[in-house]
Amino acid sequence: EVHLVESGGGLVQPGGSLRLSCAASGFTFSAYWMHWVRQVPGKGLAWVSRINGDGEESSTRYADAVKGRFTISRDNAKNTLYLRVNSVRADDSAVYYCARGLRSGATFYFDYWGRGIQVTVSS
Amino acid sequence: SSELTQPPSVSVSPGQTARITCSGDAMPKKYAYWYQHKSGQAPVLVIYEDTKRPPGIPERFSGSTSGTTATLIITGAQADDEADYHCYSTDINGNHVFGGGSTLTVL
């Protein structure tokens, strides 16, 4: 059974940093693209970032809102996905989900998700 | 990037058919996906590629498309189906786009 468990969230001051982790189990982690998606309370989901199964930097993509501040990476030996969040702002406060990615032609979508981890940016 | 528009809320009585729409300019060219999301739980894929149902998803969940609108249909809605439902697709530039989410109430 596929399991994705996020960790590393919490309270962080504006301008601060933290690293989110997503521990994966139940599938061959290195065979799949992985994504981060976030949700501000009361609002819709918003895609954040993606990385291919090999963890190639050239494969990474970011939403415009986080480009230059967030960095996605993975350690396939540890079956873990990461999101380094730097220079955080109040509008980065959200629940962050990791999700396993599939492709349908040129379209990415997500077949399994974690339960999410809360990140709160406040002084 | 393009937007996907959903109604904020949909209400039905138990046993009725719930229809949740998702409108977007790229819909005729791109597949729609639907996720069920209950508070505090992981989102669950209930429809992919417009009309397909993943293993384990009840048959009462189905999807359809017409022009620029995709629709999630829950035939014979049950109390357990109460949740937020999010549509997802990509725009013509390949950007990942979610709708604003629709809260389904069954009462």
Q: What is the pLDDT of residue A106?
A: 79
Q: What is the pLDDT of residue B24?
A: 87
Question: Contact A35/A47 with Cβ under 8 angstroms?
Answer: yes
> Using the beta-carbon criterion (under 8 Å), do A113 and B100 form an inter-chain contact?
no
Residue A109, min C-alpha distance to chain B (Å): 8
Q: What is the pLDDT of residue B100?
A: 95
Is the pLDDT at B1 greater than 60? The verdict is no
B49-62 pLDDT tens trace: 999 999 999 999 99
Q: What is the pLDDT of residue A42?
A: 85
A77-109 pLDDT tens trace: 999 999 999 999 999 999 999 999 999 887 899
Nearest CA in chain B to A104: B49
Percentage with pLDDT > 90 across chain B: 83
A9-42 pLDDT tens trace: 999 999 999 999 999 999 999 999 999 999 998 8
Of B41, B54, B98, the CB nearest to A46: B98
DSSP 8-state symbol, B75: T
DSSP 8-state symbol, A65: T
pLDDT band at B27 (very low <50, low <70, confident <90, very high): low
Residue B21, min C-alpha distance to chain A (Å): 15
> Using the beta-carbon criterion (under 8 Å), do A110 and B88 form an inter-chain contact?
yes
Of B40, B43, B90, the CB nearest to A108: B90
Residue A31, min C-alpha distance to chain B (Å): 20
Q: What is the pLDDT of residue B2?
A: 66
Spatial distance between the Cα atoms of B54 and B37, rounded to a whole number of angstroms: 15
Of A66-70, A95-99, B94-98, the poorest mean pLDDT is in: B94-98
Question: Contact A60/A49 with Cβ under 8 angstroms?
Answer: yes
Spatial distance between the Cα atoms of B85 and B89, rounded to a whole number of angstroms: 14
A2-12 pLDDT tens trace: 999 999 999 99
Is the pLDDT at B11 greater than 70? The verdict is yes
Is the pLDDT at B101 greater than 80? The verdict is yes
Instruction: Indicate the burial class of B67 (C-beta count within 10 angstroms; 0-12, 13-18, 19 or more).
Output: exposed
